[in-house]
Amino acid sequence: GDKYVREFKDGMMNGQGTYSYGKGEWEGDKYVGGYMNGNRHGQGTFTYANGEKYVGEYKDDMRNGQGTYTYADGGKYLGEYKDGLMHGQGTYTYADGTIEKGLWKNGKYVGE
């Protein structure tokens, strides 16, 4: 099953902790970082079983603020997130070296 190690407050995950996912959809994934009221919140690192990784800010259990997402194929996005999507200024470097730098909106590149 799932495993959470570290701080609780009022029966919910709060403060710094490590959550390892057991059987099911998220099996093998791991989050290390901040929690507030049971949700990922603050600075954290989410490592996916498929080799992908996100390092950055969370708010209300979603990627929000500055972060870096490294994809299994070697691509990497460095920039702003809103509600879990690339949103704001950012740079996506594809595995082949192609770079898209500029403004992102709702997960899509909209230009410089």
The pair of three-digit structure tokens given for residue 93, joined into one six-digit string: 């470097």
Per-residue pLDDT of the chain (112 residues; tens, 9 = 90+): 777 777 677 788 888 999 999 988 899 999 999 999 999 999 999 999 999 999 999 999 999 999 999 999 999 999 999 999 999 999 999 999 999 999 999 999 999 8
Q: What is the CA radius of gyration of the chain?
A: 15
The pTM is what?
Answer: 0.90
Task: List the one residue out of 57, 67, 59, 20 whose CA is nearest residue 39.
Answer: 59
